Structure 1
Amino acid sequence: MSNPDEAPQPQQPGSQPPQPGNVPPAGYQPPQGYQPPQGYQPPSQPGQYSQPGPGQQGQPGGFHFEMPTDGPRNFNDVLPQGGFSGIFKTMGLPTELKVSYFIWVISGLLGLLFGLIGLFAIIAAFAFMPGVAALLLVLLIISLAVAAAQIVLAMKMKEGKEWARLALTVLAAVSLLLAIFGSINAGGPGAGLGGNWFGFLVSAVAVVLMWLPNSQLWFKAVKGAV
């Protein structure tokens, strides 16, 4: 027969620590000497922001390249949304991408301008150096195509298209090849058309800015919002 003094007493409110996943009631005080389990984090108070820890979502991680999955499905997907009327609008872009975007657009516009000026010189060269002029014309057409493409791709990059960012990176590599080819012909008739090392260095800076951690996070945020 059990002693009445040994009968279990009813649990008093607050006598048991909260179990993982449960929210303690208001005013709860843990018993004296109680140690929370390893890894337990007390819940935040209403309106209190909890900073994510290292490695959690929202913190910039190391560089991790992935092939874009948002490639264009038709020709209309390549064209900028709304046309070229918003070519100088960069609302919502982080600073790194703003600088990169304007580098691509301004260098593309300058490339088109100088290319058209060079076209008149090449046409005049056909009168006395037709073979050389034909080669220069091919290089000029490639340069004009690259300049026009980088403007269009920069506007698509501004929309958060990862495939456009990758294409701009490839264009920077093409500009490197053109610079090398122009250096080989240094002093010859082709000098100055392909050997624009300054243009390549500017493109390299724009590429680096597109792949910085803050830019990476922006592209992921835009991709997740679609």
Structure 2
Amino acid sequence: MPMEARIGYWVWLIGCVLAIIGWIFSMGVIVFGILFNPYLLVATGMVSFFGGFRWGVILLFAATMLVSLVMLVVQLYLTLKIREGAEWARFSLTVLTFLTIIYSIILTAAGLESGGAATVTVNILSLLLLAFFWLPKANAWFLRTTDEGTTPVDSRSSAQH
């Protein structure tokens, strides 16, 4: 695996794991707020100033978080497949990243996400990190492993026998 692809792989892997941990933390805060202190959720719009739950907002948030978790798990799976030199995983991760960016734009336009500097930064970083997999050496490696029909792991194990 060329250095460019290796850097991209490790950054994507660590990023996916940290994002999943962040997702778990976010859901924990929401559940804690619903169960123990609803006034924590006033700023999110899930609870009114008078303490009443806004179940529609809560359900919409839960659905959004579920979609986010599915996307994160798929990104993690694709990242792990990239380590094997799977061209389809690289292409799928690229498509999924663009879909994630479009999804964040839709959430911002609908007023469900702030669309602030953090969202813009994450979107730009995601695109830049994808570039590692499309640089000339990494591209050649992906195409070579796809053309050979073997993954780097397969070729190492067959060379040892």
Check whether TM > 0.5: yes
The answer to whether the aligner puts 1:203 opposite 2:111 as a matched pair is: no
Cα distance per residue 1:132-178 (max 9 Å; x no partner): 11111111111111111111111101101111001100111122113
| TM-aligned CA deviation for residue 191 of structure 1 | 3.6
Secondary structure of the 2:62 match is: helix
For 1:122, the equivalent position in structure 2 comes to 30
| TM-aligned CA deviation for residue 209 of structure 1 | 1.4
Aligned match of 2:137 in 186, 191, 214? Answer: 214
Aligned counterparts of 2:105 and 2:97: Cα–Cα separation in 1? 13
Aligned counterparts of 1:110 and 1:196: Cα–Cα separation in 2? 16
- Normalized per residue, which structure has more helix? 2
Which is greater in Rg? 1
Question: CA-atom RMSD, angstroms?
Answer: 2.2
The answer to whether the aligner puts 1:183 opposite 2:116 as a matched pair is: no
Report how many aligned residue pairs link the two structures: 130
TM-score by length of 1: 0.52
Aligned counterparts of 1:122 and 1:170: Cα–Cα separation in 2? 30
Aligned counterparts of 1:163 and 1:224: Cα–Cα separation in 2? 12
For 2:155, the equivalent position in structure 1 comes to none
Aligned counterparts of 2:19 and 2:85: Cα–Cα separation in 1? 24
Unaligned runs of 5+ in 1: 1-92
- For the 8 Å contact 2:87–2:143, the answer to whether it is kept is no
Aligned counterparts of 1:106 and 1:208: Cα–Cα separation in 2? 17
TM-score by length of 2: 0.71
Quick one: higher RCO (CA 8 Å, sep 6+), 1 or 2?
Answer: 2
Write out the 4+ residue segments of structure 1 that deviate beyond 3 Å after TM superposition. none
- For the 8 Å contact 1:111–1:143, the answer to whether it is kept is no
